Amino acid sequence: MTRLSEITEHWSGLCRRPPAVRTLQADFVHLPGTAHEGLPDGGGGGSGIIRRGIGAAISGMRTLNRNRQLLWFGLLAGLVLAGNAVGNGALRYINRTLQPDIIGYYSQDFFLGFATLFCLLLLLAGLILSLSSKKEGSTSFSEGLAGAKKYWKPLLLWSMILALAGILLFRIWVGLFTWLPLEFPFLHIFGPSNFVISTITQFPFNWTLDWAMLTEIPGYGGRSLLLLIYPFGFMETMNFLAITLLLFILTPFVVPLIVLEQKTLREAVMGSFALMKKIGAEIVTCAAFLVIVVFGVFLTYLLVQAASGIVDPYNTVMFHPTVPWITLAVLYNLVLVAFSFIVATIGGIATLEMYRDTKSQGSMQ
């Protein structure tokens, strides 16, 4: 991880920082000189914005490399999203029997999204408090998570607001692609689940190359109920995750303001928007950089396909991968998921990095 950050830092033109003492304060030793130019006003030019955004991500990598206990954040966040996928699969099975009305569907989406968001916000608060600890040595994520419990009320309310906003944004997302003109078919890949559906049927994500994985009815004719979780629940969770990431990018400083400055929810939301006016471009740059990193690793699945000679079930008639290739596919998926949540942890650390940068620059004026 350190080698990766050094290569990226050299590519983006950043100066190397002096060796940091292995304490928490060292994690927030920022880049000297021009790295802070124009930050309070969001200026410094396009190259300065890119440097600061990528620099925050690099600093997050270094901090995580020195504080491996923070990886618990990624692991627990992954378990929360796995629970979301299981919940979506269970609701799909229940709804097939009960046939609820539209209000019932929206209520289910709200409560499942609300519960997932509350857990994620609690984990994020624990991550922030862990990084803000005054103790010497490595950071303890468990202590930060224990301290986050006293902020459960504003986090609970913020989870409800985000869940409602998420449902609204998802309906807008669906509506845009429902009425998309037929003259632009290439844009449909950005629609809800379209990219996931086109990818999940391919090897190594479709481990056994079952061509009917998206058309079978789980639970009938001996078909496994696990299909309700993967692929159906997984696809719903990916839609939820896309909306959640957008909401987190738009309101990145609400949780830091609540847990570090004891702001009310209203004050935290207004304060987050005020900070976004100053460094919104850096936030977007940092998020884009991390997404590109994850997408670059994701594209390695093409190498697995090339090595195996396996593409998708619609181009492979009556063919099933051998056990070694299925094992490799499962391991590849696990590594890809683990890497994604490591990057998510880096994103949380980078958010706090930029928050402290902006606050410290504001106090110096």
Backbone angles phi, psi at 319, to 5 degrees: -130, 135
Give 189-197's long-range contacts (Cβ < 8 A, gap of 24+). 192/239, 193/235, 193/238, 193/239, 196/234, 196/235, 196/238, 196/239, 197/235
Task: Kindly report the pTM of this predicted structure.
Answer: 0.82
* Grouped pLDDT means (10 residues each) for the chain, 365 residues: 46 42 37 34 65 94 93 96 95 88 93 97 96 70 92 97 96 84 73 81 82 71 77 92 95 96 95 93 95 96 86 63 88 96 96 89 59
Place of tokens 């299981």: 86
Contact 337, 262 (CB under 8 A): no
What does the pLDDT read at residue 139? 65
The Cα–Cα gap between 248 and 327 comes to 35
What does the pLDDT read at residue 76? 97
Largest CA distance in the chain: 70
What does the pLDDT read at residue 111? 97
Give start and end residues of each alpha helix (H) in 67-182: 71-98, 102-131, 141-148, 152-178
What does the pLDDT read at residue 357? 87
Q: How many residues does the chain have?
A: 365
What does the pLDDT read at residue 180? 75
What does the pLDDT read at residue 127? 95
What does the pLDDT read at residue 135? 63
The Cα–Cα gap between 194 and 216 comes to 18
What does the pLDDT read at residue 34? 30
What does the pLDDT read at residue 318? 57
CB-side neighbour CA atoms (13 Å) of 230: 12
What does the pLDDT read at residue 147? 92
What does the pLDDT read at residue 2? 47
What does the pLDDT read at residue 163? 97
CB-side neighbour CA atoms (13 Å) of 278: 20
> Which of 26, 24, 60 shows the shortest CA–CA distance to 136?
24
